[in-house]
A and B are shown apart, each in its own frame.
Chain A
Amino acid sequence: EPEVTQTPSHQVTQMGQEVILRCVPISNHLYFYWYRQILGQKVEFLVSFYNNEISEKSEIFDDQFSVERPDGSNFTLKIRSTKLEDSAMYFCASSIGTGSEKLFFGSGTQLSVL
């Protein structure tokens, strides 16, 4: 089965630093997503992206966050100035469509902000 790949698997950064999390969605998928899971808590929706623009975002996705599809294959999440509370597992996902269409998730990037 095709896979969504995420790099790196672990990232450690200092508070206030910028981080970029990278994802390669499945090649024929049209919708791309970022989710996060703080340890012991639920998986939370951050943002969805379609046709080179944000389709939907949650209240978590504030001005510190941005997404980009720079080259037609990668999909990135940037956090401009990390805070301690940004420490979480970040999952990228992609899908062919919306509604009842299945999301394919990557294995996640564990971000630790010190």
Chain B
Amino acid sequence: GNSVTQMEGPVTLSEEAFLTINCTYTATGYPSLFWYVQYPGEGLQLLLKATKADDKGSNKGFEATYRKETTSFHLEKGSVQVSDSAVYFCALRDQAGTALIFGKGTTLSVSS
């Protein structure tokens, strides 16, 4: 079945450092790919998405590119801020399905 694998956390960075959180997936067909973020005490919010191969999703300085050849959707940001501290979840959904399948989540902690 479909699955998502994320790098283990926590990831601890200083402000303005470069961020990469790796995500790979296993799926039949051509899923849509997502990054969701969960700030402390809140529900999950969509950060960005990509719906087909080579699409790049971007939002708030974060980017991820849908790479079908490597089945990856790595999250990057050039310069993190303290306010980016949160848990980041990679996820996928089949075009025909309703279930959104999440990875385990990666905790990011940014210090000033």
Contact = CB atoms under 8 A, between A and B. Distances in A.
Interface string B39-55: 00111111001010000
Contact of B102 (A43, A55, A56, A102): A43
The residue in B44, B96, B97, B105 that gathers the most chain A C-beta atoms within 10 A of its C-beta is B44
Interface of B: 32, 36, 41-46, 49, 51, 89, 93-105
Contact of A42 (B41, B43, B96, B102): B102
Interface of A: 4, 31, 33, 35, 41-45, 48, 50, 55-56, 58, 91, 93, 98-100, 102-103, 105-108
Nearest to B44: A105
Contact of A98 (B43, B98, B101): B98
Contact of A107 (B36, B42, B98, B101): B42
Contacts of A31: 98
A31 B101 CA distance: 16
A58 B98 CA distance: 11
Given A99-B32, A99-B93, A45 B99 contact: yes
A100 B103 CA distance: 17
Nearest to B41: A107
A98 B93 contact: yes
A100 B48 CA distance: 11
A42 B44 contact: no
A44 B99 CA distance: 10
Given A42-B105, A43-B44, A103 B95 contact: no
Given A98-B93, A105-B45, A43 B105 contact: yes
Given A43-B44, A98-B93, 11 more contacts: A33-B100, A35-B102, A43-B89, A50-B98, A56-B97, A98-B96, A99-B32, A99-B51, A100-B95, A103-B100, A105-B45
